[in-house]
Amino acid sequence: MIDLKDITAKSFENLESEEFQLKLEDQNVILKLVEVVPLRSGERKGGAFSMVWQGPLQPSLEQGSYQLTQETLGSMELFIVPIAHNTDGFKYEAVFT
């Protein structure tokens, strides 16, 4: 599992449009990374940033901690929040500050 203390926005910059698998008890959900945004403030050693994923209409995910896996990076436990809903599905965000 990836140590979240060590990741930065640069860790993800080449992964925009890539798929991440989110593990639920009874299924895996595919989330597509659509945006990595460096943020100005934050006390993290690696700097502050946010990531936004596009997910399907079903299942809709509540905010919470989920295990996400990406082929190149491996697995990580992230707290994600639903931030938007459109005809394509839901957008989710994780913020590192």
CA dihedral in degrees (6, 11, 16, 19; nearest 10)? Answer: -60
Cis amide bond preceding 82, omega within 30: no
Where does the pLDDT of residue 58 fall: very low under 50, low under 70, confident under 90, or very high at 90 and above? very high
Torsion of CA 86, 52, 33, 19, to 10 degrees: -80
Work out the pLDDT band at 8, boundaries 50, 70, 90. confident
Residue with tokens 């994780």: 94
pLDDT of 31 reads: 98
Q: Residue 64: pLDDT above 80?
A: yes
Residue 57: the pLDDT is 96
Residue 86: partners with Cβ closer than 8 Å, 6 or more residues away? none
Q: Give bridge partners of residue 47 from the DSSP assignment.
A: none
* C-alpha neighbours within 13 Å on the C-beta side of residue 91: 12
CATH topology of domain 4-96: Elongation Factor Tu (Ef-tu); domain 3 (2.40.30)
